[in-house]
Amino acid sequence: MKLSCVLVIALASTCSGCGGSAPATPAPAPTPVASNTPLPSAGTPVIAKPTQPPAELAVIPVQVTYVLRALTPVLDSLFPVRDSLAESTCRSVARLVCHQYVYQRDPLVVSATGARFSITTTMRYRARVGVPGAGVASCGYGAETPRRATLSLATDLYWRRDWKIGSRETALAATLLDQCRVTAMNVDATRPLQSMIDGQLKDFSAQVDTALPNAADLRPLADSIWRSFLEPTALDTLNSLWLVLDPEAIRVVPLAGVGPSFRTAIVVYARPRVIAGAKPPAISRPLPVLSLGTSPGGFVVPVSVELPFEEVNRRATALLVAETANTSERVDSVHVQANGDSVRVVLDVSGSLRGRLTLMSRLRWDPAARELRLDDLDWNLESRGAMSRMKATLAAPLIGRAIRRATMGGRVPIGAQLDSVRTQMLQLLNRTVSPGVVIGGSITSFQVESVGTTQSAFVVRARLLGQANVWIQ
């Protein structure tokens, strides 16, 4: 039996056990690397490319819907449903002196169009006033129907650099729908009351400008998403395969109001890849200041699954040293290298044959079996000649059976690793960030595009498509 499966041992050993569990100033976003190459069909084998470019830039938008009713508790605390002014707080207005002012309002109606945020309500009120020379008079008390007024506030919202919402260009309007002619001497107090309500609405506006940044703070959500992209994630139970997202930048889409909610998006720019071996160090990178950008409707995540030659060499050497320890030809070390569009495997051997043996192969992805295949791995001419001059005890039936067991019949399954990438991305995009803040995402497509090598690793490239949303309510 020929030893044309030695490289497959190396690859299989790397995969064993895998498959477990002031307004903000817009800043230019990193430019995504577009791919115009059509995806291969399900039955089309993907032939290896000789070299692989750096990992593509993934653009991952998380669409955020901020339900405006989430602001209701804050707004109600600033503008109570009912209230009254005691005599000590009343002010002199024209020739009238207010002694009491009682109102009850309807629920606040909040809505948004574009960047414009508006609050409207209808208020019913009664007033007692002091009229010089006539004592206390009132309107809306006793048998009289409470007077009505409409109040509205509209303001433009924008993202501040501290990840909070700011407001500007605020417009106020208070309209008294009913005249307030006090019962004593039929004095018309409508204008003084209009001035009082205007003042109260102005105070409310100032309070809204102060409260909105604290009530609509995007930093906790953005920081949670950012930090989740910094930490390597294990893709197998042996902690030998890792998903590294490597975020480079984060942007926010300007607010856009649609009826009862505002919509925006947090867009993360990252270079995802999968690495075999020891756990990569976590990236220490604080959340950047907020800057504006644009967002596609869904995300496109190019994923690179890397099988480093160094790790392949280490595991394959350990396996083959043990397998050939008691044979006349022993394998001392394994060296895997890229060689143009092929793969070279060099074995250092000792015993009855001393020196180096070389095997060559071309990589191919089998989409039906979802496996990386090395069907034509074989000795080069020089190594074949050396093998013919000795007793080829390396090809003994016992070693052959071990090779077949280790390589699952000469194939390296990698579909499980890709499934693990998909699972981990779904976990990142489906979770509760805090009470009332939930991320929900889905993946609509995940397909291998190419296999190949760099100077230091085998690389399988795939493309993941999907969408993610957050509801704040």
User: Residues 325-376: pLDDT tens digits?
Assistant: 887 778 888 888 877 677 787 888 888 778 888 877 777 777 777 776 766 7
Q: What is the model's pTM?
A: 0.66
pLDDT bucket at 252, cuts 50 / 70 / 90: very high
Query: Looking at residues 284-304, what average pLDDT do you find?
Result: 88
Provide the pairing of β-strand 165-176 with 147-159.
antiparallel
3-state secondary structure of 321: helix
- Range 126-137 average pLDDT: 71
pLDDT at res. 267: 94
Question: What pLDDT is attached to residue 26?
Answer: 34
pLDDT class for 399, splitting at 50, 70, 90?
Answer: very low
DSSP class of residue 45 equals P
The model's confidence at residue 256, banded by pLDDT at 50, 70 and 90, is very high
Residue 290: predicted pLDDT: 92
Residue-level pLDDT at 1: 32
Alpha-carbon gap, residue 174 to 120, rounded angstroms:
10
Q: What confidence tier does 133 reach under pLDDT thresholds 50, 70, 90?
A: low
At 91, the pLDDT band (50, 70, 90 cuts) reads low
115 alpha carbon, distance to own chain's centre? 24
Q: Edge to edge, what strands does the sheet with 411-413 contain?
A: 46-47, 364-366, 371-373, 411-413
pLDDT higher than 70, residue 422: yes
* pLDDT of 244 over the 60 cut: yes
Residue 392 has a pLDDT of 54
Give the pairing type, strands 378-379 and 364-366: unpaired
pLDDT beyond 80 at 464:
yes
Could you tell me if 402 and 441 are in contact, meaning their C-beta atoms sit under 8 angstroms apart?
Answer: no
pLDDT of residue 444: 84
Q: Is residue 58 pLDDT above 80, yes or no?
A: yes
Least-confidence region, from 96-105, 169-178, 377-386, 454-463? 377-386
User: Would you state the pLDDT for residue 359?
Assistant: 77
Question: Which pLDDT does position 106 carry in this prediction?
Answer: 94
Rounded CA separation 210/325 (Å): 76
**Pairwise pLDDT comparison (453 vs 256), residue with the higher score:** 256
pLDDT at residue 301, rounded to an integer: 84
Mean pLDDT calculated for residue range 230-236: 85
- Which has more pLDDT, 137 or 96? 137
pLDDT in tens, 429-451: 888 887 778 888 888 887 788 88
- Domain positions in the chain: 70-215
DSSP H or E segment with residue 384: helix 381-388
Q: Which two tokens stand for residue 119?
A: 């609050």
**Sign (positive/negative) of CA torsion 281, 287, 292, 297?**
positive
Rounded mean pLDDT, 46-75: 75
Residue for token digits 């019949």? 409
Compute the mean pLDDT over every residue in the chain, rounded to the nearest whole number.
75
